[in-house]
Homo-oligomer: A and B are copies of this chain.
Amino acid sequence: MKSKQTSFDIAYRAGVSQSTVSRALRNSPLVNEETRRRVQEIAAELNYKVDKNASSLRTQQSGTIALLLFEDPTNDDSLINPFFLSMLGSITRASAKKGYDLLVSFQQMSNDWHADFEDTRKADGIILLGYGDYTDYEEKLVQLIKQETHFVRWGADVKGLSVVSVGCDNFHGGYQVTEHVINKNRKNFAFLGGVTTGSPEFLDRYKGHCQALKDNNLAVDSKLQIDAVSTDESGYLAAKQLLENGVTFDAICAASDLIAIGAMRAVQEAGYNIPKDIAVVGFDDIATASSTFPAMTTAKQDTVLAGELLVDKLLQLVRGEEAQTQLMPTTLVVRKSCGS
């Protein structure tokens, strides 16, 4: 049980050649039924496991996909955005379901990324996950395309590049939650989330938000839009700034649940009641959203479906098939933070 068993060892015990062992274990129709059974029995008995390095070297396929997770640069070293963490979980599950192992790698967006898992043959393809909100991003994508790397990404469609993306309809989601709050008879809306500097995702949500306001003859007041990145601390600060502005408002649409959570804290500390005085909606439906007080109404992104789509499309590309960019709808999850 100690030293490693090879297919030659199995071959010896079974009295056949190594090639027959290899074929038998892979259920090749070329080997006799009886022989196959005997070989597989012996292999199991000796606890033989195929050496994936040798196998991958020979077949040029690793049976592994790599997940590159880009961090919010603002997050401190130890935390991961819970939304992406949840995506990570669903991607892990989805790839396991397809029989692929998952290599997870955190990346600093700013630095050069270490996207050479496919070049090094450690992975057959790559999933990119994170807010694509920095300048070099497209350049990097172009490079990946040029190298003919198989990859898919989470996020909004990238115009002009033949890149397969899976993302949520952020515009629609932003519209959806805003409309919901409008129906609660709120008139003065604030929006917390980086619009000029931030991610394209946030911008789309803001556009949807504004469209909903316009469609309902409500004003868009730029004083009521405050930049924030996706942390509760940032949301807290943004809401504080908003409160100090002196402009009145009775609803906050946050670009993410984390921002909303921070905002709720700031608003409550200022003595306002949620939802009576101020309604709050988030975006994402992270786990925490159901545990805030009051529980948060938000636009849910279906991370389970997203993970499956990402993996499926990536594997299509790996197999040399075509794959299409896909936009998923968001679902309005009504809880308590906007009134009943």
List chain A positions with a Cβ less than 8 A from chain B: 1-2, 47, 49-54, 56-57, 62, 64, 69, 77-80, 82, 85-86, 88-90, 92-93, 96, 101-106, 116-117, 119-122, 146-148, 232, 261, 265, 268, 287-288, 290-293, 303-304
Contact = CB atoms under 8 A, between A and B. Distances in A.
Contacts of A148: 2
Contacts of A88: 85, 88, 104
A1 to B, nearest CB: 6
Contact of A62 (B53, B92, B96, B287): B53
A82 B286 CA distance: 11
B85 A101 contact: no
27 contacts: A49-B119, A51-B121, A52-B121, A53-B53, A53-B56, A53-B57, A53-B62, A54-B57, A64-B122, A77-B304, A78-B93, A78-B303, A79-B287, A80-B85, A80-B86, A82-B82, A82-B85, A85-B86, A85-B89, A88-B104, A93-B106, A96-B105, A101-B105, A102-B105, A287-B288, A288-B291, A291-B291
Most buried by B among A50, A57, A116, A268: A57
B50 A120 contact: yes
Given A57-B51, A85-B85, A92 B77 contact: no
Number of copies: 2
Contacts of A86: 79-80, 85
Nearest to A54: B57
A89 B82 contact: no
A1 B51 CA distance: 30
A147 B2 CA distance: 7
A52 B122 contact: yes
Contact of A292 (B52, B57, B64, B291): B291
A103 B64 contact: yes
Ranked nearest first, the 7 interchain pairs of A and B with the lowest CB-CB distance are: A293-B293, A49-B119, A53-B57, A288-B288, A53-B56, A80-B89, A52-B120
Nearest to A59: B53
Contacts of A49: 116, 119-120
Contacts of A90: 78
Contacts of A1: 146-147
Contacts of A53: 53-54, 56-57, 62, 121-122
Contacts of A290: 232
Contacts of A287: 79, 82, 288
A102 to B, nearest CB: 5
Nearest to A2: B148
